[in-house]
Amino acid sequence: SEAHEIVTSTSATIEHLARHAPDVRSVLAIGAEGMKAELRAAGLEVVMAGDPTWTGHDGGQLARGFDAVIVGLDPEVDYRRIAVAMRAVVDGALLIATNADTRYPTAAGFLPGAGSIVAALAMATGATPLVIGKPSPAMFLAILDAMGVAGSETVVIGDNPDADIAGAHRAGCSAILVLTGVADGPLADTLDGERRPDAVAEDPAAVLRLLEPLLS
């Protein structure tokens, strides 16, 4: 794939800001270095939540205000970063989540996802976060618009019922659940509503078999 063909939750967030909140220039971010690099490449002024001066448990003393707090997955998140981000939101910054995954799979088992960090900030501030990435339809709709196709013509392949499958259905797409991530067979059988996939595949090879009639 070419770089312009890849859409990340951060790039979708940047696109959303350009269209709907062009006045956002100053960002406090919780996330990995890759997210910071993408935001800065888009011309945003970015400070990572671990950087501002911290004066102890009486709260973070921010040297400046921020237009938005953007939250992604940060494996090094701690009380300090959440507290500094909380103060920024209380002071008027928008609370934006690049995704709302509650957990993600690793070789050692599941670990907390970005959604867990967002939930902590939402609880502490009382703010309702704007979720750009999955399961929000915004990211899917932006991709459909860029490709010039309708949701009814699109099949989304994912391994997370709460993010991939629900998000696809909210955008009017069909969805195939692959049992190599968050969900296994027994869980897949219990899914309902927007989390219920149109088809289930044991692995990527099974996905190709499901799609073969559509591609022939």
Give the architecture (CATH level 2) of 3-131. 3-Layer(aba) Sandwich (3.40)
Q: Report the CATH superfamily, name and number, of domain 151-210.
A: HAD superfamily/HAD-like (3.40.50.1000)
**45 beta partners:** 26
Neighbouring residues of 56: CB distance < 8 A, sequence distance ≥ 6: none
Residue 151 pLDDT > 80, yes or no? yes
Per-residue pLDDT of 123-138, as tens digits, reads 999 999 999 988 889 8
Tokens for 109, please give them: 């088992």
- What's the burial of 55, exposed, middle or buried (CB within 10 Å: 0-12/13-18/19+)? exposed
Query: Do 151-210 and 3-131 fall under one CATH topology?
Result: yes
Per-residue pLDDT of 39-63, as tens digits, reads 999 999 998 888 765 555 455 566 5
Phi, psi for 123 (deg, rounded to 5): -65, -40
Per-residue pLDDT of 165-208, as tens digits, reads 999 999 999 999 999 877 777 778 899 999 999 999 999 899 99
Helices (H) and strands (E) in the chain, counts: 8, 10
Neighbouring residues of 58: CB distance < 8 A, sequence distance ≥ 6: none
Question: For 116, how many CA atoms within 13 A lie in the half-sphere containing its CB?
Answer: 12
**Sequence spans of domains, the chain:** 3-131, 151-210
Instruction: Indicate the DSSP class of residue 60.
Output: B
Tokens for 137, please give them: 């339809």
Query: Taking residues 64-90, what's their average pLDDT?
Result: 91
* Distance in angstroms (rounded) separating the CA atoms of residues 187 and 173: 22
